[in-house]
Amino acid sequence: MIFSTPISTQLAKKIASAAGTTSGHAEFRSFADGERYVRVLSNVRGRSVVALGSTPPPAENWIDLLFLIRALKENGARRVTAVLPYLGYGRGDHVEKKGEMIALRLVANLLESAGASRVIVVDPHAAEISRFFRVPASAVSILDGLLSKIEAGADLLTVAPDRGAAERAGRAARILGTNQVVVFKKIRPRPNVVRLLPGKVIRGTKSAIIVDDMIDTGGTVVAAIRRLRASGVRNITVAATHGILSRDAAKKIRLAGAASVIVSDTLPVTESQKRLLKIVGTAEAIVRVL
């Protein structure tokens, strides 16, 4: 039986149908001051259930998932598998400056305290997600699906827009059967501001695919597109699992010159964003690991 928080309802229906299982019912409401209320309506006593929920801001998405897991446990569920199509605070996986803390470790602890007995995350920022959890935790990669519609010509260049994307870009190149990979060096002088450091000159390549785990403001991808275009690359595709798409990120990326932007359905997208994107489904990949 699959339960979902409100943000992931559409994906939960697709997963339930692909898995041939039933959807569980739960009620989610807000009090006048904004606090959340969650009530499980289906009988879960003694059952193994799934609690599905992406957790981007606002933090209420986290509250919904944690409350759902706890409500399932307090109503007698034997095991709760938490599935996070998008893991919010996943980028908080390391300390960069003195005084910071590892946000991912805290949200991992919260999932465990709420009652999750297993955790599944789609394409997390941290490669080894299991080291943040004490319960079994694993990642589902949907890179194959994201790249399934790409025509890999011989001169296709696979681009990691920063070092963190290097491993993903390497895997993408193997899937696409190309061997040209370039890794850009990115710095962030301020939050949400991106600068690429000078790097190897790209010659003779006409097509490129930029691969990343997520698009937030679009700054990273736009910087990579500009660098590629300055090197004469004209046919540019962007493939990223999670379309957070803050502000007008999708529009910015298309205006910068991306011919196509592929994201997945781990996060909902608006109708106007849909017109600028290709959306790949993740339900089948998630069902395979449940």
Contact segment (CB under 6 A) with ligand R5P among 49-57, 73-81, 106-114, 210-218 equals 210-218
Phi/psi for 182 (5° steps) reads: -125, 140
209 binds ligand R5P (CB under 6 A): no
Contact segment (CB under 6 A) with ligand R5P among 53-61, 70-78, 173-181, 218-226 equals 218-226
118 contact partners, CB below 8 Å, separation of at least 6: 79, 81, 82, 135, 136, 137
What percent of the chain is helix, strand and coil (3-state, nearest 5)? Answer: 35, 25, 40
Token pair for residue 161?
């827009």
162 binds ligand R5P (CB under 6 A): yes
Residue 185 is a catalytic residue:
yes
Contact segment (CB under 6 A) with ligand R5P among 40-48, 56-64, 145-153, 206-214 equals 206-214
217 binds ligand R5P (CB under 6 A): yes
- Residues 178-197: x/- map of binding to ligand R5P (CB under 6 A)? --------------x-x---
How far is the C-alpha of 243 from the C-alpha of 266, rounded, in Å?
A: 8
Q: Is the peptide bond before 58 cis (omega within 30 degrees of 0)?
A: yes
123 binds ligand R5P (CB under 6 A): no
Token pair for residue 61?
């998405």
C-alpha R_g of the chain: 20
225 binds ligand R5P (CB under 6 A): no
User: Which residues share a beta bridge with 119?
Assistant: 82, 137
How far is the C-alpha of 65 from the C-alpha of 59, rounded, in Å?
A: 10
Contact segment (CB under 6 A) with ligand R5P among 23-31, 48-56, 95-103, 212-220 equals 212-220
- Residues 75-94: x/- map of binding to ligand R5P (CB under 6 A)? ----------------x---
Between helices 103-114 and 60-74, what is the axis angle to 10°? 30
Q: Is residue 85 a contact partner of residue 122, using CB atoms and an 8 Å limit?
A: yes
Q: Which is the catalytic residue, given 14, 73, 185, 274?
A: 185
CB of 274 to ligand R5P, least distance (A): 18
Which of 113, 192 has the CB closer to ligand R5P? Answer: 192
The single residue among 216, 241, 261, 273 that binds ligand R5P, judged by CB under 6 A, is 216
* Number of other CB atoms surrounding residue 130 within 10 Å: 15
CB of 125 to ligand R5P, least distance (A): 6
Residues annotated as catalytic are: 185
Residues in the site for ligand R5P, rule: CB under 6 A?
91, 125, 162, 164-165, 192, 194, 212-220
